């Protein structure tokens, strides 16, 4: 993938997407959250100071996410909201899906609209996304689960360069080269499952806990901060109110170069999810 839009810029707590849209680095994911529990947790995340909420159509929880946003009392313009499209069969159906997502979310626009996977119909879906960008229903557009090869091929054939690529990334799958290449091309890397899921043991890792103690932080906060210092935005998902607050408090400390190198030794270079292995 050739860099052609310039180095990605950052503020203290945001990535500056290709068209100037600010994406908060610390977000809240909604995988497996449904119904009232989903809306309550989204509302809580926002009331605790979070401003980046992520969901896709695939989860079937856009209505609950939208309700949570409204219940929070946080003005819509202060929230960065992401959703993702599936392949429903062509350009017109994708336009329909964008409208349906906005209706369910209860908003006139999303801040970031992503193509969920490199589907066979990806170019027609993305063409609809480009139109949504033009007419203001999406402030920024991008992709998800595209590795470097797929992203390079895709970017050479679309009119608007993807502004973000959301992929599996955590301290056990750090994707350092991936992040470096995206950042040099002006594309924001976003990490889904940045704590590796329930069975990975990242929040209890002894090395991360040791490094975290030196900063008054937990192992999970240390793992998330490592990713943000590598240039990733992170969207951890939790149903624990205390951890929601903790996961947003990751930008008020800095890891030293020696600490970063020690954490790099945890990298196994493999996906923790069988279905995602093809996207690494």
Which residues are designated catalytic?
59
User: Cα–Cα distance between 209 and 280 in angstroms, integer?
Assistant: 27
Q: What is the DSSP letter of 249?
A: -
SS3 229: helix
The length of the chain is: 280
SS3 46: helix
Angle between helices 148-155 and 122-135 (to 10 degrees): 60
The tokens for 245 are: 């607050």
Q: Is the Cβ–Cβ distance between 142 and 150 less than 8 Å?
A: no
- Which H or E element spans position 16? strand 14-16
């Amino acid at each position: 993938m050739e860099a052609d839009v310039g180095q990605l810029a950052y503020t203290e707590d945001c990535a500056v997407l290709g068209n100037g849209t600010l994406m908060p680095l610390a977000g809240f994911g909604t995988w497996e959250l449904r119904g009232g529990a989903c809306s309550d947790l989204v509302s809580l995340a926002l009331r605790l100071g979070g401003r980046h909420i992520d969901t896709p159509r695939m989860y079937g929880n856009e209505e609950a996410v939208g309700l949570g946003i409204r219940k929070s009392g946080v003005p819509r313009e202060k929230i960065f909201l992401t959703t993702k499209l599936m392949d429903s069969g062509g350009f017109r159906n994708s336009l329909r899906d964008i409208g349906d997502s906005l209706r369910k979310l209860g908003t006139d626009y999303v801040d970031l609209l992503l193509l969920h996977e490199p589907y066979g119909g990806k170019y027609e879906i993305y063409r609809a996304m480009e139109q949504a960008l033009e007419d203001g229903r999406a402030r920024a557009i991008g992709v998800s689960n595209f590795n470097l090869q797929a992203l390079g091929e895709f970017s050479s054939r679309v009119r608007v360069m993807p502004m973000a690529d959301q992929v599996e990334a955590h301290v056990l799958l750090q994707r350092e080269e991936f992040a470096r290449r995206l950042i040099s091309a002006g594309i924001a890397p976003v990490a889904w499952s940045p704590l590796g899921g329930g069975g990975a043991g990242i929040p209890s890792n002894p090395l991360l806990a040791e490094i975290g103690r030196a900063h008054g932080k937990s192992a999970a906060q240390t793992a998330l901060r490592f990713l943000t210092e590598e240039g990733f935005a992170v969207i951890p998902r939790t149903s624990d109110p205390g951890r929601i607050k903790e996961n947003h408090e990751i930008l008020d400390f800095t890891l030293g170069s020696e600490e970063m190198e020690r954490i790099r030794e945890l990298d196994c270079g493999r996906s923790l999810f069988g279905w995602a292995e093809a996207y690494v």
